[in-house]
Amino acid sequence: MAVSLQDYHDIQLLVETYARLLDADRLEDWLMLFDEHCHYEIMSRENVAQNLPLSLMLCDNKDMLMDRVMSLREANIYNIHFDRHVLSFLHMEAAGNGQYEAGLSYALFQSNQEGETRLFSVGRYEMRLIRKDDAWRFTRVRVVVDTGAILTLLATPI
Amino acid sequence: MAVSLQDYHDIQLLVETYARLLDADRLEDWLMLFDEHCHYEIMSRENVAQNLPLSLMLCDNKDMLMDRVMSLREANIYNIHFDRHVLSFLHMEAAGNGQYEAGLSYALFQSNQEGETRLFSVGRYEMRLIRKDDAWRFTRVRVVVDTGAILTLLATPI
Amino acid sequence: MAVSLQDYHDIQLLVETYARLLDADRLEDWLMLFDEHCHYEIMSRENVAQNLPLSLMLCDNKDMLMDRVMSLREANIYNIHFDRHVLSFLHMEAAGNGQYEAGLSYALFQSNQEGETRLFSVGRYEMRLIRKDDAWRFTRVRVVVDTGAILTLLATPI
């Protein structure tokens, strides 16, 4: 079933907001884009291909995701870099019950305080979206990373 | 003449599918996006600027393109990397007879099985599209690459 | 207030044109995308964060921007590289009086004449747009670069 122009546009804007808030280090606002019942996960492409359940980051409810953000704020050493997401075209499919599945590829660059930039990660988002109270929210975000060398201990969301 | 929102959207989705299928190594499905009469070519920016006909890859009909995909499957050594396309904004112009010309810039990253990612190629797609049986198909895809060092012998499509 | 699909689309095409003309080294045509009263500026993320007025490039009217383009043409040594912009999703907000503010992240790659490509700069555009004579034009473009090491003397626009 074809996705309407308006739904495609609205969800594109939600995904844009997702990346913009992360890049601006507005993690608490980024949290608000998730539904109360949500699942956030970072997995390597290799583990997905081999059907291994191992995650680089896993928060299977919103409280866990909030805790993650809080601990990043307290650790306070994570923000020695600045993120910059560059997003590729959005794919969308109706998933029943008014929900959508969406996917898109990304490149994530990180710059340090000396203004040196490196390619940090490329991969793909797999998202599920629900509409509540007139706004689209994420119920599920799975980031499948092609790039393996991610420090998991203090990893920031992608 | 202005391009309609709907046509722009539909062709954006076709281009999205093009990149998604390549990145998922679904080359046989990717082939289906091309019209029976099609032309696929990879050229360096330098050769285009100097009007040299030399191609890094050239398939001027669909059978040739299919042969290329088959030989990649048989060689079987090509899939030691994983592609990741990141696509920039789409440009479109009506080309008469209900056809369109489209263009867009891309960055293509490759990751190896150790999860190391490198920038493989940047450049620009120049595409021509036709609508048949209610679906848009490529009649022509020319990839003009800025990045020269591409192994031509076993090159995968970009 | 929600941005109409049509305005979003039209401004996306303007931004696409902006990048396409720069990448094709059509600087004189690129100039035409700016309103008579315009401001173009490149700043580092660090200076923006610290509220320092220091710019890497600053043209606060269209004549200055034209002079810049002319001097690049005369210097003639700048075009030893080829630009390639890859643009991320567009953010737009109404700014009153029929104007819009727009923002988007970008990655800019440069290739030399040997076909070697490097990541040159990532960052974010902050734009302001006005509609005159049935066309959208930039009244303000500020490029906030994450990547610091930019040669300012003969810098080309980003």
Could you report the per-residue pLDDT of C72-106, keeping only the tens digit for each?
Answer: 888 766 557 899 999 999 999 999 998 999 999 99
What confidence category does residue C148 fall into, taking pLDDT thresholds of 50, 70 and 90?
confident
End-to-end CA distance of chain A: 30
Both tokens of C90, joined, read 């567009």
Closest chain B residue by Cα to residue C11: B89
Question: Structure pTM?
Answer: 0.95
Decide if C101 contacts C92 (C-beta within 8 A).
Answer: yes
Give the pLDDT mean for A61-73. 93
Q: How far apart are CA C41 and CA C143, in angstroms?
A: 6
Location of structure tokens 């383009």: C69
Decide if C99 contacts C139 (C-beta within 8 A).
Answer: yes
Give the pLDDT mean for B89-110. 96
3-class DSSP state for residue B143? strand
Amino acid at C47: N
Predicted local distance difference test score (pLDDT) of residue C155? 74
Q: How far apart are CA A14 and CA A116, in angstroms?
A: 29
Q: Do C86 and B103 touch (CB under 8 A)?
A: no
Predicted local distance difference test score (pLDDT) of residue C78? 53
Is the Cβ of A123 closer than 8 Å to some Cβ of chain B? yes
Site from A146, A147, A151, A158 to mutate, B interface, most B CB atoms within 10 angstroms: A146
Decide if C39 contacts C138 (C-beta within 8 A).
Answer: no
Task: Give the closest residue to C147 by CA, choosing from B147, A117, A6.
Answer: A117
Neighbouring CB atoms inside 10 A of C80's CB total 9
| pLDDT tens track for A106-140 | 999 999 888 899 999 999 999 999 999 899 999 99
Model ipTM? 0.94
Average pLDDT of chain C?
91
Q: How many interchain CB pairs under 8 A, B with C?
A: 71
Q: Which chains touch B (3 or more CB pairs under 8 A)?
A: A, C
* C54: phi then psi, degrees, rounded to nearest 5: -65, 125
Q: Which chains touch A (3 or more CB pairs under 8 A)?
A: B, C
Of residues A105, A124, A148, nearest to B114 (C-beta): A148
Decide if C50 contacts C79 (C-beta within 8 A).
Answer: no
| pLDDT tens track for C26-55 | 999 999 999 999 999 999 998 898 888 888
